[in-house]
Amino acid sequence: MDRQQAENRFAELRKQLQYHAHRYYVLDNPEISDTEYDRLFRELLDLEAQFPELITPDSPSQRVGGEPLSAFAEAVHNLPMLSLDNVFAAEELDAFAEKVQRRLNSSAQLTWTAEPKIDGLAVELIYEHGLLIEGSTRGNGLVGENITANLRTVRNIPLCLDAAAPERLAVRGEVFLPRGDFAELNRQRTEQGQQLFANPRNAAAGSLRQLDSKITAARPLSCCIYGIADLRSVPCQNMAELFVWLEQMHLPVNPLVKICHNLAEIKAHYLRLQQLRHELDYAIDGMVVKVNEFNLQEQLGNTARAPRWAVAWKFAAAEAEAVIIGIEYQVGRTGAITPVAILEPVHIDGTVVRRATLHNQEEISRKGLMIGDTVLVRRAGDVIPEVVKPLLERRSGQEQAVVFPQQCPICEQALHRPEGEAVTRCGNLHCPAQKLQRIIWFAGKSGLDIDGLGLKNVEKLVEAGLIKDIPDLFALPKEQLAALEGWGEKSAEKLLQAIEKAKQTSLARLLAALGIRHIGKTTAELLAEHFVDLNQLLQTTPEHLLTVHGIGEQTASSLCDYFAAQENRELLARLLDLGLTIHSGLKKTAVSGQLSGLVFLFTGTLSHLTRAEAEQRVKQLGGEAVSSLSKKVTHLVAGEKAGSKLQKAAELGIRVLDEQEFLQIIGE
Ligand code: IVH
């Protein structure tokens, strides 16, 4: 076969395979047998082996995954990927609909879509000139991870669209692992002694966020498109038309989307989905209700978090019966003892539940729980399962009373429960369990967010004796790290670099990272705004703290107690000695939010907001607003009569937005 013939045959095969894959994966209605499909596929692979230069990124062969990556690149969403507000009852849906009607200032009959809310991972797919050029996760809404190679392996995601596709199209949808495949995957993992995925959503996320796309390719993931980023990019006026159009583009859409003309129809569809959910091949956790017309959606707009034109109506929490086989007492970072019921494993809504929180001693007495009891366990969405009540009629007489420990299960110090409080505590600051939890907190997302230092690794380092307390993190010996089982020079180096980076922090982040009782992220930010530096804070009094906006008595005394303890002062001193640097300038970016990490500069005249208001919004959303142009600026917002900055920004490669785009980003 010469090259020209190969090229022709290649184009033909590609077209056929694409056509049949669509019939098979999207329409569920294949025309040819699997064997025939495999034969065509084989032929394509052979041809590509012979003429590798013919391979294009949209070839069906590219779905099998490429070379592993070392990390995901960032993917910026031109328009933010929002979340949804939830309602849980019909009355709340009525209230939502009423609000929509009021906002639109209209009593006209609206139409809506009601769609299954699929429990998977939100993704954005970008097609340019019909080709899938980028796929990403939601991330923080503005910046996600570029997982293009992995998304290319998802069988029902078309690698290229029909010729009629717009020049650029960004669609959004949910990637999920069908329930049967989820069960099978967990079965295999049990066999191989690997940790099980807790639910289909985790399995989907775990499969998609693989650096090696071959692993993703081996997972039977599926995608369902439910929307687009830019309403003007498609020839449609409403959701109903959009779904038809998406289907024409061969993009997978959910067959259970219903156009509803009134609330009664929406409610009927909810009941139908609730009944159907257990028969569906994929997990759904509710129904999404959206205003149908695009112009009304635009009129309603978004809040920073969610659209005002849509809402998720969640299904009631799933419940199941389980037997309590024991109780474990966990020691938290502030010494709080939390009883956790150990259950005989039970499936609730596709998830294996083995533990359920019992909150505290009082809760156990109030519910009258005994070990050996059959209890009702409830799991609502992602929250930790909890024990609702014992089923008294199931008692055999063999149950044993729960005896709350008098001593810390780890350090054996006598526990205490202050008057009027529900929580029992271990008061030993040196308790190894507390220390471990404090280190985990310090390194984790709510703390300094040290890359690669999650719960497992902290446990490992503690077990290996490399760290005993927080400051030890800043003095990890490289050779010993590298010598750990499963580690090496490279991973040790990487962790040390991440730690070095985390040493540069802000007062707010540090305060939140210390895990002081009552000092969460928001309180830490309030404190950091008030105090110039750590020294000033260390010298403050409870009386002065009470004058700080948002600080109450509990917080004030907790903070002063913390700083009064010699151990804690020493801990801070050691951290500073080991290179901890507190930048006051980082204060603003530490307010993590939708815009965190982004730096905005405004130029020209804005028409909807004053410049001060615009800067205020940026700050509220965790971004930084500056007044002069530098490389640090990530977004230049140009109002009317924007001057020379515009050109300079272009030279620096800075993203320029007009006011409208800015308003969209901040959800107004
Ligand atoms: S619309 C701006 N429709 O639910 C509107 N979301 O809890 C954003 N989801 O992040 C979403 N099925 O990942 C929409 N039919 C559906 C959905 C759906 C699942 C997910 C989506 C979103 C999350 C919000």
One-character DSSP codes across 556-603: HHHHHHHHHSHHHHHHHHHHHHTT-EE-STTHHHHS-STTTT-EEEEE
* Nearest residue (CA) to ligand 1, atom 7: 84
* Nearest residue (CA) to ligand 1, atom 22: 83
| Beta strands at 581-582 and 504-505: parallel, antiparallel or unpaired | parallel
Identify whether 117 is a catalytic site residue: yes
Homologous superfamily of 599-665 = BRCT domain (3.40.50.10190)
pLDDT score at 610: 84
Q: Which listed residue (15, 117, 367, 490) is catalytic? A: 117
Tell me the per-residue pLDDT of 580-603, one tens digit each, with 9 for 90 and over. 999 864 333 333 456 766 789 999
Token readout for 620 is: 């509220």
User: Taking all residues of the chain, what is their mean pLDDT, rounded to a whole number?
Assistant: 88
Our CA angle for 473, 476, 480, nearest 5°, is 140
- 368 Rama sector, left if φ>0, alpha if ψ -120 to 50, beta otherwise: left
Tell me the per-residue pLDDT of 138-193, one tens digit each, with 9 for 90 and over. 988 888 999 999 999 898 998 888 767 898 999 999 999 988 788 778 777 766 66
Return the axis-axis angle of helices 34-50 and 3-21, rounded to nearest 10°: 150
The residues of the chain that CATH labels 1.10.287.610 are 3-62
Closest CA to 437 of 474, 416, 412, 411: 411
Is residue 434 a contact partner of residue 331, using CB atoms and an 8 Å limit?
Answer: yes
Does residue 381 register a pLDDT over 60?
Answer: no
CA dihedral 21, 27, 33, 38 (to 10 degrees): 20
What is the rounded CA–CA span in Å between residue 262 and residue 114? 11
Whether domain 432-583 has CATH 1.20.1070.10? no
The residues of the chain that CATH labels 3.40.50.10190 are 599-665
Which residues are paired to 432 by β-bridges? none
Residue 15, CA distances (Å) to 11, 50, 54, 59 in order: 6, 19, 14, 9
pLDDT score at 165: 87
* Nearest residue (CA) to ligand 1, atom 10: 83
What is the rounded CA–CA span in Å between residue 584 and residue 624? 13
Distance 589 CA to ligand 1 centre (A): 28
What is the rounded CA–CA span in Å between residue 537 and residue 433? 28
pLDDT confidence of 641, banded at 50, 70, 90?
confident
What is the rounded CA–CA span in Å between residue 655 and residue 649? 7
pLDDT score at 590: 32
Does residue 129 register a pLDDT over 50?
Answer: yes
Residues of the chain with pLDDT > 70: what percent?
A: 93
The residues of the chain that CATH labels 2.40.50.140 are 319-407
pLDDT score at 569: 94
Does residue 54 register a pLDDT over 60?
Answer: yes
Distance 4 CA to ligand 1 centre (A): 46
Least confident of 189-193, 474-478, 644-648: 189-193
E strand or H helix at 143, and its extent? strand 143-145
What is the rounded CA–CA span in Å between residue 313 and residue 93? 7
User: Which amino acid is it at 50?
Assistant: Q
pLDDT confidence of 317, banded at 50, 70, 90?
confident
Distance 205 CA to ligand 1 centre (A): 15
Residues of the chain with pLDDT > 90: what percent?
A: 50
Average pLDDT of the segment spanning 395-404: 95
Residues with CB under 6 A from ligand 1: 82-84, 115, 117-118, 122, 174, 226-227, 288, 307, 310, 312
Average pLDDT of the segment spanning 207-218: 86
What is the rounded CA–CA span in Å between residue 658 and residue 318? 46
* Nearest residue (CA) to ligand 1, atom 13: 122
Least confident of 226-240, 283-297, 434-448, 593-607: 593-607
Q: Where in 168-317 does DSSP place strands (E)?
A: 168-176, 222-228, 258-260, 284-291, 310-314
Task: Kindly report whether the global pTM for this prediction surpasses the value 0.95.
Answer: no
Tell me the per-residue pLDDT of 87-102, one tens digit each, with 9 for 90 and over. 988 999 999 999 999 9
Distance 116 CA to ligand 1 centre (A): 9
Tell me the per-residue pLDDT of 482-505, one tens digit each, with 9 for 90 and over. 999 999 999 999 999 999 999 999
Our CA angle for 636, 81, 199, nearest 5°, is 145
Q: Which of 117, 285, 294 to mutate to test the pocket of ligand 1 (most atoms within 8 A of CB)?
A: 117
pLDDT score at 168: 94
Is residue 376 a contact partner of residue 386, using CB atoms and an 8 Å limit?
Answer: no
The CATH code of the domain at 3-62 is: 1.10.287.610
Q: Where in 303-382 does DSSP place strands (E)?
A: 310-314, 318-331, 337-348, 351-357, 370-371, 374-379
The residues of the chain that CATH labels 3.30.470.30 are 74-188+198-314
Q: Which CATH number fits domain 74-188+198-314: 3.30.470.30, 3.40.50.300, 3.40.50.970, 3.30.300.160?
A: 3.30.470.30
Tell me the per-residue pLDDT of 24-38, one tens digit each, with 9 for 90 and over. 766 656 778 776 787
Q: Which fold has domain 319-407?
A: OB fold (Dihydrolipoamide Acetyltransferase, E2P) (2.40.50)
Average pLDDT of the segment spanning 350-368: 87
Distance 84 CA to ligand 1 centre (A): 7
Which range is most confident: 209-213, 550-554, 588-592?
209-213
Token readout for 459 is: 């446990």
What is the rounded CA–CA span in Å between residue 394 and residue 323? 10
pLDDT score at 281: 87
Ligand 1 nearest-atom number relative to CA 257: 15
The residues of the chain that CATH labels 1.10.150.20 are 432-583
pLDDT score at 382: 47
